[in-house]
Amino acid sequence: MSVRLAVIADDFTGGLFVASNLEKIGIPALYVCDPDILPSIGDQDVVVIATRLRFMPPAEAVAMLDSLTTALDAIGTEHVFYKYCSTFDSTDEGNIGPCADFLVKKYDQPRLIFGPGYPDLSTYVHEGYMFYKDRLISESIKRFDPITPMNDPDMARVLQRQTAEKVGLLPHRVLHRGSAFAHDYVRDQQDKGVRYFLMDCVDNDDVALGAAIFRRDRITSGADALAIELASQWEKEGVRRAPQDRPRPIRGQGGEAVLVGSCSEVTLRQRDHFALSNPVLDIDIREAEGDILTERSLEWAQTPLDAGRAIGFSVAGDPDAVTRAQSMFGVMGAARKAEAILAGIARGLADRGVRKFVVSGGESSGAIVQALGIQSMQVLPFDELGAGSCVSHDDRRISLFLKPGKIGTEDVFSAALDKMRA
């Protein structure tokens, strides 16, 4: 048994985004939601392991990485890619630095690349400064993120606050001069004590050259663009481990539900658009205990489900509602309560025969997939909807569309359900 590339994704939507883009270019990717099945997955070119690392306390995140990498080593994994959000979502107390420290120590690796950014989604890094949709990230909507407000645009400085290792840049002006010059630059910086390289991501040429420089390292880290490029470069070498003739996915038949956990402005507009034609229940997490709110929601759902209607549930609120919830439960407490309510609703809906789920929000997606007891999924190629679709491998054949909060058109919820019905 062997795996060429294992992508450890710090949330479920990000992992699915990588897997679906690899499927689009013809590289099979097994999407694993339960690491316990790793010993039985057989030979694979790419395995994407979805986790909920992003908001874990550093010690807890490191312990999970230790367990995952040990399991991957046991099945013969050549390369591990630690994947985080393209916008490097984190705080000064975040775990990206501690996770990196653990990985380089465990594998005795003298350097590590950090590749946030994704040019195809208008997320760029230049001289270490991140731009989101042509604005400094500290001036974009990301500064209002309820859990990881991005107020510092200097990604090297953000990382340096999380680690004692010396952080340096691999800037566009160096990458632009070609492979030989960039290799020499990296070696020179290593001689000067730099161990972590924050790579610029001005365009896809930066991503391609960065991948070429570091692709022989045992461990790399970055966002979607770098992971996809690494897999693509290895694919060109022509070494295959997994069989290529896989059957088309068979979707389950049953009810349809949209579950909204993200509080982004984009998601709120999508929720309101879906509500124009479908019953949607807005849930105020301050009103009662989570179990009570879950039970009330499932009781509400029965009538429209019996009528064969697609239904929606939202724990998302406007910024004022989020602030009020956070003042009552704390920042993470409010987020975890909201996720637990949606997860309980999803589990109850599945028991009632719902087999098509559209989910908005990375942490919500993780909580819901885990609540549904899904161990692995077949991923569909990335398409015009702008996020990832997949089908569970178990007998239920649950169809899911897992969407980051800030992605998609206003009608994406209905469009995703339409695709599931096709």
The pLDDT-based confidence of 241 (bands split at 50, 70, 90) is low
Stretch 236-261: mean pLDDT, rounded?
79
Pick from 156-170, 207-221, 233-247, 345-359: least confident: 233-247
β strands within 112-254, DSSP E: 112-115, 123-126, 129-132, 135-136, 167-170, 196-199, 219-222
Helix axes 319-329, 331-351, angle to 10 degrees: 100
Exposed e or buried b per residue across 18-42, where buried means at least 16 C-beta atoms within 10 angstroms of its C-beta: bbbbbbeeebbbbbbbebeebeeee
E strands within 206-351? 219-222, 255-260, 280-282, 311-314
Answer whether 157's CB lies under 8 Å from 128's CB. yes
CB of 98 closer than 8 Å to CB of 61: yes
Indicate the pLDDT class of residue 82, thresholds 50, 70 and 90.
very high
Residue 242: pLDDT band with limits 50, 70, 90: low
pLDDT higher than 80, residue 386 = yes
Q: In this structure, are residues 379 and 29 in contact, taking their beta carbons and an 8 Å threshold?
A: yes
> Would the pLDDT of 240 be above 70?
no
pLDDT of residue 91: 85
Query: Using one digit for the tens of pLDDT, what is the confidence trace for 270-317?
Result: 999 999 999 999 999 999 999 999 999 999 999 999 999 999 999 987
To the nearest whole percent, how much of the chain has pLDDT over 90? 84
